[in-house]
Structure 1
């Protein structure tokens, strides 16, 4: 079966990225095993942006090997059921003031958090820059 007909359009992908707020981020741990976590994200500047405590193992792993993945689904959102996207990404860990100044206000507004609380925590911001996309629309497949 040719699944190309079931991919999301660019507009549908951007709509899903704008509406959803949670993703699954995957990376390789220090022994090379794949691991993942559910994280809240902001999609801005053509990349996924998440935050993490600086001392989390994922931060050191992504610095050592930036290869990563991000997956997002339409679950729980007012979009057609069965839409998903995944991206093969490269991670960049940021701890500079200029990134924090634009990221934390957007992140906190979207996540319903107090920026002052995050500002007191020892955090970094992780940019996950897509290198390749994959998508699927289950409803489109069912209509065929």
Structure 2
């Protein structure tokens, strides 16, 4: 076995994000891949925007979407967050396993919308909130139970793609 990131990419288990690095990623990124089991039992995923609060991930959808329907039968999900598009150096990823709860009550939506729209559309959060505040709008809370896997290419010598060691 050679040097990780220079001679091979086999043993990457030591290249994990620590807690502070996970938090940095969650602050930098606003999107995740929301992975769920569809009605036929197949793993499925959709890209969704999220905010974090009270130790959970909070997302929104509309009643009737496949991922919302699936949560009624199987609330276990995985959220995959990467640094793609953030401008952060290297390649980071984190897969968070969690249990989803669907909130259909007005109080949760009223708490959620200002937090969500301020993060997603800081130039005009009120306009975005008006757009999202629709009759079938709901909020999905995902409470993490485990980190399935994480990776941080900044922790490997070279650039992780066979570049020179630094």
Is TM > 0.5 for Structure 1 vs Structure 2?
A: yes
Give runs of ≥4 in structure 1 deviating > 6 Å.
none
**RMSD over aligned Cα, in angstroms?**
1.6
Matches within 5 A, 1:8-47: 8-47=17-56
Which of 141, 145, 157 matches 1:127?
141
Which of 67, 70, 78 matches 1:61?
70
2:108 is equivalent to residue 94 of structure 1: no
- In the alignment of these two chains, the number of paired residues is 144
Which of 75, 85, 89 matches 2:84?
75
CA separation in 2, counterparts of 1:29 and 1:120? Answer: 25
Question: Highest Rg: 1 or 2?
Answer: 2
Shift of residue 2, structure 1, vs aligned partner: 5.0
Which of 119, 136, 155 matches 1:140?
155
Matches within 5 A, 1:112-123: 112=121, 113=125, 114-123=128-137
Greater shift after overlay, 14-23 or 41-50? 41-50
Shift of residue 58, structure 1, vs aligned partner: 1.2
Higher strand share: 1
Higher helix share: 1
Instruction: Give deviations 1:58-104, integer Å, cap 9, x for gaps.
Output: 11111211011100111111322211111111111001222212211
TM-score (ref. length: structure 2) = 0.80
Instruction: Give deviations 1:9-35, integer Å, cap 9, x for gaps.
Output: 100100110110010000001110111
Unaligned runs of at least 5 residues, structure 2: 1-9, 159-164
Shift of residue 135, structure 1, vs aligned partner: 1.2
CA separation in 2, counterparts of 1:57 and 1:5? Answer: 36
Unaligned runs of at least 5 residues, structure 1: none
